[in-house]
Chains A and B, each alone.
Chain A
Amino acid sequence: MPVFRRPLPGTHPEYLSPAYVSTRTRAPRQPPILLPHTISELTGPVFGHSEVGEDDNDLTCQHSGEPLGERIIVTGRVLDEDGRPVRGALVEVWQANAAGRYRHQVDDHGAPLDPNFTGCGRMLTDAEGRYRLVSIKPGAYPWKNHHNAWRPAHIHFSLFGAGLLSRLVTQMYFPGDPLLPFDPIFNSVPDERSRSNLISRFDWDTTVPGHALGYRFDIVLRGRDATAMER
């Protein structure tokens, strides 16, 4: 059986993070019970090309016209903790439009919907663990967490790596966003360096001249510990 490391303290948020008000009634109060890893945790679903369409990674071509907003390309590699690529990982994404509005029935923000933007996609990583998302930069939007609360611009990422232990749902932020220091969700990550790993970086190599700005966002999942003794 492969051995998975346990995440270091401070890497992930605690369930109870009072500044993010919804955690107060949803965070479990009992400590979780430490579970030895069995085949049930070490396996997991593997998705293939039948679940992912050819253009599902391009959020700008899902309608008859182009969405409004600043065109972006977000690319990066999905790696394990030893830096090995995670191949064939399913990456699901969803985001607000350029005005900061989600095409979702519970989003009551007054900003306009864009008839040419749905805001969701999915892709599989290639042999180098690479993914490439084409989209528009999402807008910031207000939420009801506290007075004058605004979420920084972000894209939601969901990943299935090698087994259930590699499952990760996270959010990618943009460099230089003035809202980041005030966001309780971003700041729920205790360790500053870990937190900074949620911020993409602007990347000239990904930027397409005359067309789209490029951002780089690598994602590191829990992986099999190559140095640990296997039982």
Chain B
Amino acid sequence: MTALTPSQTVGPFFHLGFAPLNRENLAATGMAGEAITIQGRVLDGNGAGVDDAVIEIWQPDSEGRYSQPEDTPGESNFKGFRRIPTDSTGAFRFTTTKPGRVPGPDGELQAPHLMVTVLARGLLKQLTTRIYLPAEPSNQTDAVLSLVPPERRSTLIAKNIAGAGDLLEWNVILQGVSETVFFDV
């Protein structure tokens, strides 16, 4: 067995290398289905916005299908991928298709969710978390959410913003009292 290459931080200058694959808008993907827009901030242990973070999203289409290389052999297939760097206040925003349900560890369907990878200066390895959607009955029975202590589950569920229509809010709190739940994958 060959030893894994260790992780190192992206540092503050990742925009140089990452910018060509930034994807924030649904239009970049050609996925059908109900559009959702999610916005939020990445915050550090002092509550300050992290202006040198980037989040990467991976999700299935509205029917619960993940893009697979065999779908279109030889073509790029990253329709479910988003990459959004934070702005000077630590904020990010993206529009996507509401994900469908996919099978879970127990064979039951999981509640709709988006996989999130967080990278930033000061993070020596990536963080993995999930965004769930508000008012989904399946959140009550989701096998992954049920692994999370009940009082921390809300950190994984996006919230409707009062008076903002369909706009959803979901924040990444790296450290502190309302610290976001991160997963060991």
Given that A48-B74, A120-B17 are known contacts, is A28 also in contact with B124, CB under 8 Å in the complex?
Answer: no
B76-111 toward A: CB 8 Å interface, digit per residue (1/0)? Answer: 111011000000000000000000001111000010
Q: Is the interface of B mostly helix, strand, loop or mixed?
A: loop
Known: A33-B183, A36-B105. A28 touches B127 (CB 8 A): yes
Considering the complex, which residues of chain B in the window 54-69 have a beta carbon less than 8 Å from any beta carbon of chain A? 56, 58, 60, 66-69
In whole angstroms, what is the CA distance A104 to B19 when docked? 12
Is A63 at the interface (CB under 8 A from chain B)? no
A134 interface hit (Cβ, 8 Å): no
A7 vs B185: C-alpha distance in the bound complex, in angstroms? 10
Q: Which residue of chain B has its CB nearest to the CB of A4? A: B185
Q: Which residue of B lies closest to A90 (CB)?
A: B21
Give Cα A91 to B144, complex, Å: 31
Residues of B within 8 A of A219 (CB): 5
Q: How many pairs of A and B residues are in contact by the CB < 8 Å rule?
A: 245
**Residue among B3, B68, B102 making CB contact with A197, cutoff 8 Å:** B3
Alpha-carbon distance between A162 and B76 when the two chains are bound, in angstroms:
14
Q: Which residues of B contact A23 (CB under 8 A)?
A: 122-124
Residues on B with beta carbons closer than 8 Å to the beta carbon of A110: none
Nearest residue (CB) in A for B119 is A169
Contact B76 A35 (CB under 8 A): no
Bitwise interface map of A from 1 to 15 toward B, beta carbon under 8 Å scored 1, else 0: 000001110011111
Report the nearest A residue to B83, measured CB to CB.
Answer: A45
Q: Is A211 an interface residue (CB 8 A)?
A: no
Identify A32's interface contact among B18, B113, B183, CB under 8 A.
B183
CA distance A158 to B123 in the complex (A): 14
**Residue count of chain A within 8 Å CB distance of chain B:** 82
Is there an interface contact between A158 and B124, defined as CB atoms closer than 8 Å? Answer: no
Task: Evaluate whether A50 and B75 lie within 8 angstroms (CB atoms) in the complex, with A13-B124, A94-B16, A164-B115 already known.
Answer: yes
Nearest neighbor of B99 in chain A, beta-carbon distance:
A40
Give Cα A185–Cα B7 distance, bound, in whole angstroms: 10
Q: Does A195 contact B (CB under 8 A)?
A: yes
A51 and B122 CA atoms in complex are apart in Å by 28
Is B157 an interface residue, CB under 8 A from the partner?
no
Name B125's contact: one of A12, A24, A51, A198 (CB within 8 Å).
A12
Q: Residue on B with the closest CB to A5?
A: B1
Judge whether A156 is part of the interface by a CB distance below 8 angstroms: yes
- Of all chain A residues, the one with the shortest Cβ separation from B76 is A48
Report the separation of the CA atoms of residues A194 and B175 in the bound assembly, to the nearest whole angstrom: 27
Q: Which residues of B contact A169 (CB under 8 A)?
A: 7-10, 119, 125-126
Please give me the residue from chain B that is nearest to A171 by CB atom: B8
CA distance A104 to B144 in the complex (A): 39
Distance in Å: Cβ of B46 to nearest Cβ of chain A? 6
Say yes or no: is A215 at the interface (Cβ < 8 Å to chain B).
no
A197 and B6 in contact, given A32-B182, A47-B76, A164-B117 (Cβ under 8 angstroms): yes
> Are A12 and B66 in contact (CB-based, < 8 A)?
no
- Contact in complex: A26, B8 (CB < 8 Å): no
Q: Tell me, rounded to whole Å, the shortest Cβ–Cβ distance linking A19 to chain B.
A: 11
Nearest A residue (CB) for B64: A39
- A66 adjacent to chain B (CB < 8 Å): no
User: Do A26 and B7 form a contact, CB below 8 Å, given A104-B13, A104-B15?
Assistant: no
| 19 sampled A-B residue pairs with Cβ under 8 A | A6-B184, A13-B6, A13-B8, A14-B124, A15-B123, A23-B124, A33-B181, A38-B104, A44-B58, A45-B81, A48-B77, A49-B76, A92-B17, A120-B19, A122-B17, A167-B56, A185-B124, A194-B4, A195-B6
Additional pairs, 16, CB under 8 Å, beyond known A26-B174, A191-B6: A12-B125, A13-B6, A15-B127, A26-B123, A29-B175, A32-B182, A32-B184, A34-B183, A41-B128, A79-B2, A83-B2, A106-B12, A169-B126, A171-B11, A194-B3, A197-B5
